[in-house]
Chains A and B, each alone.
Chain A
Amino acid sequence: MLKLEGSYICGTPERAHYQMYKLKTHIALTALFIFSSTLSFSNNMSSFYSESTFIALVILSVVLAAIAALLFGIKKHLTALQNEKIGTEDEPSFYDSKIKPITSKWNPTIATLVIAGLLMIVLGGFGYKFGMDEVGVQQGYSPTQPINFSHKIHAGQYEIDCKYCHSTVEKSKSASIPSLNTCMNCHKYVKAAEKYNGKTSPEIQKIYDAIGFDGDNMEYIKGYDQKPIEWVRIHNLPDLAYFNHSQHVVVGKVECQTCHGPIQEMDKVYQYSTLQMGWCIDCHRERGIDSENNAYYEEVHKNMIAEGKDYVTVAENGGLECSKCHY
């Protein structure tokens, strides 16, 4: 490698310069690649990269950076030697010719503060992003799913009730992802074949492959080794917070869209809300409980009328107390 580089140097200075230009481009491209890959990873596009890929990329980047630094050093050294040999004067460096005239006019204290401040803002921004990721704040998280299921088609275009698929939302803490037999209620017949020249849609075919359905003969394959679909979970509350869908949907009468956003318009689902505690608390402070129509709140309703209030917020009913959610 060294020898190879040496052979370039033996050529004309212009050629060497061209090589260096190429090298600079490489360094810049590498840096860009590292930056973009890091960014994309932190942007929750994580379904593209597994953790091990990321680590491999980091190691590769470090190695490449080390080589680049080495080469740059050699180049500098060789240039100096060559200049000595040829006897030309050192060109004034980029710094001396372009940057120094500007910076020499600056007040050193203010300049340091400004640069440090800018750095702080940039780094702080990154830090904030990392921090938020670390504590699991993933607003906007939109991973690629094993099946490109579109809520826009199902909930928007065909207006299928959310509860048809997320059937336990009124009974359980979890709204639950529908099991494949729920999909098959329709997709036994709906194959979207018109879009695919009479063949089953490849996305629907994934359901058939998982549950063991022969789309051509319209029958289940006996003794098929079923494989579940491994969806990527988008809404990840930390374990220390207890959330119950039925409490909010049945008792609180909250619409799905209040927290999940315009789900009927999403081709690919993303996390609409922050799911941070402050977001929970804000709602609990504003929203009133339906004390009038629920016998459980009979006493609360009586007290409310006695106190001459129009409504009782969740917070006033104890909805901000720690162990309502943390236990």
Chain B
Amino acid sequence: MSSNKYWKGVEELEQTQEFVTSNANEFSEGLPLEKIFSNDDATRANRRDFLKYFGFGLGAVTLAACNKAPIKKAIPYTEKPDNVTPGVPLYYASSSVSNSEGFPVLVKVREGRPIKFEPNKEATYFGGGLDGLGHSAILSLYDTNRLKGAMVAGKTKPVAWADFDKQVIKALSTTNKTIAIVTNGSTSMVTNQAIADFKAKYTNTEVVAYEPISYSGITRANNASFSSAVIPAYNFQNADVIVSFGADFLGTWISPIKFHADYSKNRVPKEGKMSKHFQFESLMSLTGANADVRVPIKMSNVGQHLIALYREMGGATPVNGMETAGNSIKQAAAALKGAQGRALVICGSNNEQDQILVNAINTMLGSYGSTIDITNYYKGQSADEKDFDAFLAKAKSGAYGAVITLDANPAYSYAGSANAFAKIPVRISTSITLDETAETATHIATGLHPLESWDIKQPYNGRFIFSQPTISPVFEGRHVASSLVAWTGVDVKDTEDFSHAYVYAKNVFTSSIGTNFNEAIEKGIVENVATAAVPSFNITTGEVISEIAARKKADSELILYQKVGVRDGAYGNTPWAHEMPDPVSKVTWDNYLSVAMADAKSNGWELGDMVSVSTANGKYDLPVLIQPGQSKGTFGIALGYGRVLPPEVQNDLKDLGQNVYPLVDIKGGFANYIISGVTIEKIAGAALHEFGMTQSHYSIEGRDIIREASLEDFKKDPKAGQHVHKPKPITLWEDYDYSKGHHWGMAIDMNACTGCSACIVSCSIENNVPIVGRDEVRRRREMHWLRVDRYYSFEAPTTKDLSLSIVHGGDQTVQAGEQMSKEKVMEAYAEASEDKATAYDYYENVQVAHQPMMCQHCDNAPCETVCPVLATTHSSEGLNQMTYNRCIGTKYCGNNCPYKVRRFNWFRYNENEKFDYHFSNDLGKMVINPDVTVRSRGVMEKCSFCVQRIQATKLVAKRENRKMNTDEFTTACAQTCPSNAIVFGDLNDANSEIAKLYRDDRSYHVLEELGVKPSVQYLTKIRNK
């Protein structure tokens, strides 16, 4: 039985004054009527004003009526390509833009314009999903600030490629010093071949790889342990027990989309079994939010915890210097031992020693060959900061005559690189935008956007991902490989039939991968993998352990982490990624100092207080965000913010957040993201920072929205967690018979859903949902049709807890499993601890539940009955229809919606310079889905169950004279979900996946007691405690 008290944010739990006030209203702001009707003469409109405005209004309307509807042109192709049918989308297999290592996707193209990424379901190894940033990055193609052609320092206009090449060749061939090529650790085989060609001509060339986020701890450890400096492939689908030490593998660690798919396979209980996931971490990550057992620790002491685990596993270690995190390491070890060969231990530390210990533990567990594959290893992150440091040192000494940066941006993300680069006389960049590195370049050989390019990438050893152009180049860029080859003196002019890059890529394919290039391009993926080998662990751990044990324990630590939506910041100029709320903190458009409640209380900080963070590497002013679940004494700041964008960018992307890359500690010989020696002080007198936060915009009011149960209870009773009093439904309406035709429905498995929020962005792109910017989010006017609610809860007390603390101290009446209020939890923690100051530690032990929430398409929809103009009505297929052109904007429906999923267009978000995002510029508009209306000011909107896809699929079936198969399409959210948590389909089709899920014992409707009969079912969350 689910007995937890849930809360959406700290404000709700603590019932702060602002929360209580703002929560009383449905929309955050009413009309400013008081102002209008006040007696204040300055603001009061008098009769004359009224007549003036009335007269002007009448005149304006009359004039507007004289304006003729504009002449519309219809311009056909002069020569239509064979495969293009205007009005019908084409899908091309390609690679995701933001996942630069290569991630298979399909690109939906309408009349030559890529408009959306869709998962490539045939690439099953990668899971068939996509993340939020991956979707957002399509806007980088339509970025008006892209460079228009080859640029030379000192000139504002592009120069002709022929002249540009002459200049570059002259510069490169006259230097007698070394030429450096800085790559992004590219997995692109085309670029790598071009580099090889370049080196053949310029033998004085050195190549160095650079990546903003380092995983060198893992590669170095694997080199030491197995003589193989690689990041292995992790197979979460084979793991029954997962123990992660600060690795946010569902959010940001290595390859999270693929990990999502694998992880979720074992998260849905089948025959009473599901995987067990322990997470030891300091910040509250997306992964931690999904763990069965989450233990807050200090990441700076992660090594000591690893020693404890190693010892529990039977390794020989000294007792000193261990951290056992209470009983938790013991529990984790017991679980791991019980799952030999089906277990996985991972660690997010970038310290080689920690990773060696992890390797040792995994070897003991028999993980290699099962959950860890070192043969078909991951190739996306191969850079080692040691090499880059050496390069910078040499550059400073003036050893290089020229540097070519290929899609790398060290000036932004590596402190000191700008100074070193300045010592190199010729600096060539291939960036497509004027990023921080390109800004300082002497020559910019403007590249092509990945969606305009041919490419072959190899994210995993033996797995090749193909990119093909889906649009002809928007500007006068040139493929990076063509540029490199051009500088060797080869003519790279496109022939009449083929571009140089195509011929080049095809040659790379035929010389090293296969013979049928066309088939590879069509599928987008070629896999040629070997059986996973079991490497032998050839290192003694004694020395490593004694060194870790000797580490000084820090009182406080600052952790530099990545946000799920923004990641390393490379696509920091895509507004969708910023408007997507962070899955855990629910903050949009900001980075901040994340602090634990205990630290906030002891320092007297509150939400939004500005603090200055001083370290050896600089001082930063940031707002405070209190994060439940974060361990005491740890602070977090997200990387990837503070991008320097061109001056033309004047929207919320401008000066967004602080760039904390310079804080990364490289003194220890590796990039350490855990910083010690940080002082944080409140800035006296600074105004409170207001976050654009979606988390507490609506409150739960103690309703039974989330249902969950433990695996033990679920095994005993498949309906565990759902035994709530169900009132007998009484309805005023006549029942409609939905058994004929289609009846659309959706099921969301809360066990599979991790809250990653990819669905939000996919939905926004599919349905032309506008970006509103930070200020509007602050006013609770975000337009997302789909939100992912995040609820915190404390664990319900067990009988054991009661016998210990609560009975002694406070309320004697509490029963085991009873709803646990904040006060009771506080008492329990205060009692259990001698030290009253630790009373706030209860905030460390929260558990999280995510729940995607969109229009529930209620069969008895409360919104429909209150609309005065019948703008929202019900279809015979169970859809709650919203007709924009009929809506007059009374907002009654929004007020009457129990799920709070209706969104009102407070402004016209297109063609409006105040909302200068893609809807307001000619290039950005190309991404608009032509099958969905762009809404205007003053109308309500909401999830439509992707009715455009329903209609399109029905039509194909009708045209082909056949019955429709409901599994042949799905909604945008379900399609992109990397963990397959959302299923959509026809409830009347008994064999469909959705009908099966509706019969599942775990399924329930949110707020079913209202009798509104929603068409979305949720499946009770089961935790493997």
Q: Are B741 and A226 touching (Cβ within 8 A)?
A: no
Query: In the assembled complex, which residues on chain B have CB atoms less than 8 Å from the CB atom of A238?
Result: 885
Query: In the assembled complex, which residues on chain A have CB atoms less than 8 Å from the CB atom of B958?
Result: 247, 250-251, 294, 296-297
CA distance A246 to B960 in the complex (A): 11
Query: In the assembled complex, which residues on chain B have CB atoms less than 8 Å from the CB atom of A327?
Result: 931-933, 944, 947-948, 951
Q: Are A231 and B76 touching (Cβ within 8 A)?
A: yes
Q: Are B932 and A318 touching (Cβ within 8 A)?
A: no
Contacts A173-B87, A228-B77, A240-B933 given; indicate if A51 touches B70 (C-beta within 8 A): yes
Q: Are A299 and B740 touching (Cβ within 8 A)?
A: yes
Stretch touching chain B among A90-98, A110-118, A127-135 = A127-135
Stretch touching chain A among B790-798, B876-884, B991-999 = B876-884
- Candidates A210, A293, A322; contact of B881 at CB < 8 Å: A322
Q: Are B875 and A233 touching (Cβ within 8 A)?
A: no
Q: Are B73 and A233 touching (Cβ within 8 A)?
A: yes
Contacts A168-B87, A176-B86 given; indicate if A236 touches B69 (C-beta within 8 A): yes
Q: Are A233 and B74 touching (Cβ within 8 A)?
A: yes
Residue A177 CB within 8 A of the other chain: yes
Q: Are B959 and A251 touching (Cβ within 8 A)?
A: yes
- Candidates B71, B881, B959; contact of A323 at CB < 8 Å: B881
Chain A min CB distance to B432 (Å): 27
Query: In the assembled complex, which residues on chain B have CB atoms less than 8 Å from the CB atom of A326?
Result: 881, 883-885, 933
Query: In the assembled complex, which residues on chain A have CB atoms less than 8 Å from the CB atom of B882?
Result: 322-323
Q: Are B78 and A228 touching (Cβ within 8 A)?
A: yes
Stretch touching chain B among A16-24, A40-48, A192-200 = A40-48
Q: Are A318 and B944 touching (Cβ within 8 A)?
A: no
Stretch touching chain A among B219-227, B387-395, B961-969 = B961-969
**Proximity bits, A136-179, B CB within 8 Å = 1, else 0:** 10100001000000000000000000000000101111101111
Residue A239 CB within 8 A of the other chain: yes
Query: In the assembled complex, which residues on chain B have CB atoms less than 8 Å from the CB atom of A294?
Result: 958, 961
Query: In the assembled complex, which residues on chain A have CB atoms less than 8 Å from the CB atom of B963?
Result: 295-296, 298
Contacts A51-B70, A295-B962 given; indicate if A181 touches B740 (C-beta within 8 A): no
Q: Are A228 and B76 touching (Cβ within 8 A)?
A: yes
Chain A min CB distance to B980 (Å): 26
**Proximity bits, A243-274, B CB within 8 Å = 1, else 0:** 01011001100000000000000000000000
CB closest chain-A residue, reference B871: A322
Q: Are B933 and A239 touching (Cβ within 8 A)?
A: yes
CB closest chain-B residue, reference A49: B68
Contacts A211-B78, A296-B964 given; indicate if A174 touches B86 (C-beta within 8 A): yes
Query: In the assembled complex, which residues on chain B have CB atoms less than 8 Å from the CB atom of A174?
Result: 86-87
CA distance A172 to B90 in the complex (A): 12
Chain A min CB distance to B770 (Å): 15
Q: Are A134 and B75 touching (Cβ within 8 A)?
A: no
**Proximity bits, A23-58, B CB within 8 Å = 1, else 0:** 000000000000000100110101100010010000
Query: In the assembled complex, which residues on chain A have CB atoms less than 8 Å from the CB atom of B877?
Result: 318
Q: Are A133 and B68 touching (Cβ within 8 A)?
A: yes
Query: In the assembled complex, which residues on chain A have CB atoms less than 8 Å from the CB atom of B959?
Result: 170, 246, 250-251
CA distance A238 to B74 in the complex (A): 15
Residue A230 CB within 8 A of the other chain: yes
Residue A64 CB within 8 A of the other chain: no
CA distance A239 to B9 in the complex (A): 41
Q: Are B957 and A296 touching (Cβ within 8 A)?
A: yes
Q: Are B76 and A229 touching (Cβ within 8 A)?
A: yes
- Candidates A211, A231, A321; contact of B73 at CB < 8 Å: A231
Residue B10 CB within 8 A of the other chain: no
CB closest chain-A residue, reference B63: A58
Residue B66 CB within 8 A of the other chain: yes
Residue A242 CB within 8 A of the other chain: yes
Residue A122 CB within 8 A of the other chain: no
Q: Are B70 and A323 touching (Cβ within 8 A)?
A: no
Chain B count of residues within 8 A CB distance of the other chain: 50
Chain B min CB distance to A7 (Å): 40
CA distance A311 to B958 in the complex (A): 17
CA distance A261 to B948 in the complex (A): 29
CA distance A63 to B231 in the complex (A): 80
- Candidates B73, B86, B741; contact of A300 at CB < 8 Å: B741
Query: In the assembled complex, which residues on chain B have CB atoms less than 8 Å from the CB atom of A41?
Result: 68
Residue A82 CB within 8 A of the other chain: no
In A190-248, which residues have CB < 8 Å from any B CB? Answer: 210-211, 226-233, 236, 238-240, 242, 244, 246-247
CA distance A251 to B79 in the complex (A): 29
Residue B800 CB within 8 A of the other chain: no
Query: In the assembled complex, which residues on chain A have CB atoms less than 8 Å from the CB atom of B66?
Result: 38, 130
Query: In the assembled complex, which residues on chain B have CB atoms less than 8 Å from the CB atom of A15?
Result: none
CA distance A232 to B962 in the complex (A): 38
CA distance A172 to B934 in the complex (A): 21
Residue A303 CB within 8 A of the other chain: yes
Residue B72 CB within 8 A of the other chain: yes
CB closest chain-B residue, reference A47: B71
Query: In the assembled complex, which residues on chain B have CB atoms less than 8 Å from the CB atom of A233?
Result: 71-74
Residue B85 CB within 8 A of the other chain: yes
Q: Are A230 and B73 touching (Cβ within 8 A)?
A: yes
Residue B58 CB within 8 A of the other chain: no
Chain B min CB distance to A225 (Å): 10
Q: Are A210 and B76 touching (Cβ within 8 A)?
A: no
Residue A62 CB within 8 A of the other chain: no
Q: Are A171 and B88 touching (Cβ within 8 A)?
A: yes
CA distance A47 to B75 in the complex (A): 16
Q: Are B883 and A323 touching (Cβ within 8 A)?
A: yes
In B948-981, which residues have CB < 8 Å from any A CB? Answer: 948, 951, 954-955, 957-959, 961-964
Q: Are A232 and B74 touching (Cβ within 8 A)?
A: yes
In B210-237, which residues have CB < 8 Å from any A CB? Answer: none
Q: Are A130 and B875 touching (Cβ within 8 A)?
A: no
CA distance A322 to B877 in the complex (A): 12
CA distance A44 to B955 in the complex (A): 35
Query: In the assembled complex, which residues on chain A have CB atoms less than 8 Å from the CB atom of B86?
Result: 168, 172, 174, 176
Residue B65 CB within 8 A of the other chain: yes
Residue A121 CB within 8 A of the other chain: no
Q: Are A242 and B931 touching (Cβ within 8 A)?
A: yes
Contacts A134-B65, A231-B74, A233-B74 given; indicate if A179 touches B961 (C-beta within 8 A): no
CA distance A181 to B78 in the complex (A): 6
CA distance A138 to B70 in the complex (A): 12
Q: Are A180 and B71 touching (Cβ within 8 A)?
A: no
CA distance A326 to B439 in the complex (A): 47
Q: Are A179 and B740 touching (Cβ within 8 A)?
A: no
CA distance A134 to B964 in the complex (A): 40
Residue A287 CB within 8 A of the other chain: no
Query: In the assembled complex, which residues on chain A have CB atoms less than 8 Å from the CB atom of B726?
Result: none
Query: In the assembled complex, which residues on chain B have CB atoms less than 8 Å from the CB atom of A231?
Result: 73-76
Residue B80 CB within 8 A of the other chain: yes
CA distance A297 to B741 in the complex (A): 9
Q: Are A177 and B76 touching (Cβ within 8 A)?
A: yes
CA distance A179 to B76 in the complex (A): 5
Residue B328 CB within 8 A of the other chain: no
Residue A324 CB within 8 A of the other chain: yes
Chain A min CB distance to B181 (Å): 37
CA distance A192 to B881 in the complex (A): 54
CA distance A130 to B66 in the complex (A): 7
CA distance A38 to B931 in the complex (A): 36
CA distance A240 to B931 in the complex (A): 10
Q: Are B78 and A226 touching (Cβ within 8 A)?
A: yes
Q: Are A318 and B78 touching (Cβ within 8 A)?
A: no
Given contacts A230-B75, A251-B958, 19 further A-B contacts (CB under 8 A): A44-B68, A51-B70, A136-B69, A171-B85, A176-B85, A176-B87, A180-B78, A181-B80, A228-B78, A240-B884, A251-B959, A294-B961, A296-B957, A296-B958, A296-B961, A297-B958, A303-B740, A321-B875, A322-B881
What are 28 A-B interface contacts by the 8 Å CB criterion? A38-B66, A127-B65, A130-B65, A134-B67, A168-B85, A168-B86, A172-B88, A173-B87, A176-B87, A179-B79, A181-B77, A229-B76, A230-B73, A233-B73, A239-B933, A242-B948, A242-B951, A250-B959, A293-B961, A294-B958, A294-B961, A295-B962, A299-B741, A318-B876, A321-B875, A323-B879, A326-B881, A326-B885
List the 4 closest A-B pairs by CB distance, nearest first: A172-B87, A179-B80, A323-B881, A179-B77
